[in-house]
Structure 1
Amino acid sequence: MGQGAQEKVATSLAGAVSEEISASLAPVDAELERRYPGDPATRQPVHTVYVPGDVFAADTIRSWGDQALAALDEHAPDAASFAAVLGLAGELAEPVHARVRAKLEHEPIEDLRVDFEDGYGPRPDAEEDEAAARAARLVSEAYEKGTAAPYMGIRMKCMESPVRDRGIRTLDIFLTGLMEADGLPDGLVLTLPKVTYAEQVTAMVRLLEEFEKARELEPGRIGFEIQIETSQAILATDGTATVARMIQAAEGRATGLHYGTFDYSACLGVSAAHQASDHPAADHAKAIMQVAAAGTGVRVSDGSTNVLPVGPTSQVHDAWRLHYGLTRRALARAYYQGWDMHPRHLPTRYAAVFAYYREGFEQAAARLARYVNRTGGNVLDEPATAKALSGYLLRGLDCGALDIAEVARVTGLTRTDLEGYAAPRRGDLTVSAK
């Protein structure tokens, strides 16, 4: 056949075959869309800070930032000393240090949870009632004044029988207080702890449905995080993954799965000296959580370290190195969020996050640019990789590690462009770049 001649095309199947197969798979298509809608393409905070309900105050966020800055001034007063503590590469020392300080000055906390569970403990009902109402007032005022963290909410007591009624009442008081003020803020986040059975998630869904009806809110307006702190939340008695059932039981309301380092470790009998987020038991639990959540739009958060950066400088440096290392380890495993339990954890949280995104920025941005422009290179990337690359850049932008101007300089893309690659339509990921 000569060059340019039209190729003869022949088929053997009747057109009705494709139509019949499509019809037979229509329920599967609908199930995929319902169960696996993909990432919500919204900002994910890099951490969650827990503050007991009786300690939370109007100046908590600013106070944490100030305490973190004071720790830097005392124990690592300049970029060189901070880099030396953490082992940062020379070219990262100045930009990471400057961005950490700017973050602590302008947005020290990305996600704050007023804690009415372990961090608060059992109190007289009247005292917890008042604390819950006060939390609602302070959160509402913070959003009104522009001093709120991007995300704020409460961790209630769990759905187990001894504390169930107390947890429900605290949640009711808090949500009602928000409604009586300026309504529910966009950054509202609720955490349901110590979930063991999917039925407890179902109960939370029903509770929120009733609140929405009572306050004439749009159905599904209120979501919540599921805290994974027990072995039963990972593996059910029949050997299946309980956490996967929990996600489905949430009926689209679950926003995150949060790993509880110490409760989960204790549940498995891990001794106190070895309870840490890098223990093999922790890795197993989070791997199950990650697989169960993949594609569902539910995000996974790592837990915390209980080693506090307090005391003499050498002791602070040791704790900082530990926290920095654990955070970097989590990021490499795609756990982009964790818990911070003390103001002095903030410098190393942001140092680890900023270093992670800045040291890989140029390579990721250039690789995405080659994919977009079809200019090749030494790696043949797929749409799925473009999704990962753009997601990486967006997370770096959201937390302040990167600026849109420097991303645009390398990629030639706007934020809207990046969002398009990060959240492609279903089916796009099966088509390779040409």
Structure 2
Amino acid sequence: MDVDALAAELDQLLADADEALTRHYPGERPSRQPVHTYYQPADRFDERLVHDVGREAEQVVLEHAEELLEVIGGDEDVMARLLTKLDTEPVEDLRIDFEDGYGDRPDAEEDAAAEAAGTALATALDDGHAPPFTGIRIRSFEPATRARGLRTLVGFLDSLGRVPDDFVVTLPKVTSAEQVEAMVHACEHVDKHLGGHLRFEVQVETPQSVLGPKGQVLLSRMIRAGEGRLTAFHYGTYDYSAACGIAAGQQALDHPVAEHAKTVMQVAAAGTGVRLSDGSTNLLPVGDQLVPAWQEHLRLVRYSLARGFYQGWDLHPAQLPTRYAATYGFFRDGFPAAAERLRGYVGREDSSILDEPATARALSDFVVRGLDCGALEEAEVVAATGLETETLLMMARRPRAGD
């Protein structure tokens, strides 16, 4: 039998499938993923917002250092790291909110808020006071709010004067793939109007976005409909839970209905370059709820991380300490074992764990994420793994942009 001839036939038979796999599943995006998105109502946003949020979070930590240290298990290294983070980069991803957090306002008032917020973000970007990732959340593309959401988006961007790098629009309450197609259409018009390349993320907060009327997983259709502009799925804890009939007291990001939705999100997005973000908790660390809310937030962030959701929402400055404490603790706790397994895999050392290439990629991705967020230092990673950062990036299939 002529094996080479048969292989050539198979190449021809599978050419379309091979091309589709490469096109639809390009793999992880090479850039850093923020560990959170901080939502700020538009009428309370100004160019000093990130600085002020950081100082407020830092002040809470300093005033309640003993309580926080106890909440995070007495880990003084993590405590020092989170304080440095609050001082240097308290917010990684900012979303200026014109939806639920902003509320219903007269058109003239929202027009003015969009203009003011766009001007303020432009000032923050020009002065170097903006976080690495920014964006706005507009109203949904349901009939009643479609025109208003579009008007706010255009007014905001006209005032901002450009589409910044790492800027996204959050489209909430999506109920169909057609709404994603409509958002792509709107983005194309904005590109012609302002230049740049506008991208967006979808909030998964309706059952219709997960399962369509014919039993289809619409999240997969949305990724295709996004035409490369769809960057992420963000889970909406309370809208989704309420729509599924969950009582208010039981609505949470670790409820079984949330687990189902997020599992479907995870499978649909795997390998596509579309990222995932978990939702929020509405138990705020204020007053006599400071410590209980810190404890709950720390638990939920660790819970999300363990399930492969490396990003989540924060709604209050006092949530930032436990966001970073949980994130740093997660990566630092897991680093020694990950480093040992990577060293053994690359060196083909005898071990009680037989890791495969896919697991080595996951181990490398874990370490790279730890480096990205500041939980790990490059020198300690090189010393523990014997691998340079570039090698880890290549193993994680996350090469540096431009490589």
Partner of 1:404: 378
Aligned match of 1:241 in 217, 231, 240?
217
Distance 1:424 1:302 in 2: 22
Aligned match of 2:18 in 16, 29, 32?
29
Distance 2:337 2:110 in 1: 51
Does residue 40 (structure 1) correspond to residue 22 (structure 2)? The answer is: no
Q: In structure 2, do the counterparts of structure 1 residues 215 and 66 end up closer, same or farther at CA, with 3 Å as the change threshold?
A: closer
Q: In structure 2, do the counterparts of structure 1 residues 116 and 374 end up closer, same or farther at CA, with 3 Å as the change threshold?
A: same
Partner of 1:150: 132
Q: What is the count of residue pairs matched by the alignment? A: 399
| Percent identity of equivalent pairs | 51
Deviations 1:142-178 (A, max 9, x none): 2221111110110011101111011111111222233
Distance 1:274 1:132 in 2: 35
Distance 1:71 1:369 in 2: 40
Distance 1:231 1:265 in 2: 9
Q: Which amino acid aligns with 2:185?
A: R
Partner of 1:5: none
- Asked if the contact 1:114–1:154 (Cα under 8 Å) also holds between the matched residues in 2, the reply is yes
Distance 1:317 1:409 in 2: 37
- Asked if the contact 1:387–1:424 (Cα under 8 Å) also holds between the matched residues in 2, the reply is no
Aligned match of 1:137 in 107, 112, 119?
119
Aligned match of 1:188 in 162, 167, 172?
167
Q: Which has the larger radius of gyration?
A: 1
- Asked if the contact 2:265–2:276 (Cα under 8 Å) also holds between the matched residues in 1, the reply is yes
Distance 2:142 2:279 in 1: 22
Partner of 1:67: 56
Q: In structure 2, do the counterparts of structure 1 residues 258 and 340 end up closer, same or farther at CA, with 3 Å as the change threshold?
A: same
Aligned match of 1:346 in 316, 320, 324?
320
Aligned match of 1:334 in 289, 297, 308?
308
Partner of 1:320: 294
Distance 1:411 1:287 in 2: 31
Distance 1:165 1:205 in 2: 15
Q: Where do 1:18-417 residues align within 5 Å?
A: 18-75=7-64, 77-78=65-66, 81-86=67-72, 88=73, 93-178=75-160, 180=161, 183-217=162-196, 221-312=197-288, 315-417=289-391
Q: Which amino acid aligns with 2:194?
A: R
Distance 1:143 1:396 in 2: 26
Structure 2 length normalisation: TM-score? 0.96
- Per-residue deviation, 1:121: 1.6
Deviations 1:103-156 (A, max 9, x none): 111111110000001111221222211211222222222222111111011001
- Per-residue deviation, 1:69: 1.4
Partner of 1:4: none
Distance 2:15 2:28 in 1: 23
Deviations 1:181-232 (A, max 9, x none): xx32212121110001000000000111122123344xxx221110011111
- Per-residue deviation, 1:424: 6.8
- Per-residue deviation, 1:415: 2.1
SS of 2:383's equivalent in the other structure is: helix
Q: Which amino acid aligns with 2:224?
A: Q
Q: Which amino acid aligns with 1:193?
A: P
Structure 1 length normalisation: TM-score? 0.89
**Could you say what the CA RMSD is over the residues aligned between the two structures, in angstroms?**
1.4
Deviations 1:74-116 (A, max 9, x none): 22x25xx433223x2x5xx111000011111111111000000
- Asked if the contact 1:41–1:422 (Cα under 8 Å) also holds between the matched residues in 2, the reply is no
Distance 1:410 1:202 in 2: 47
- Asked if the contact 2:335–2:367 (Cα under 8 Å) also holds between the matched residues in 1, the reply is yes
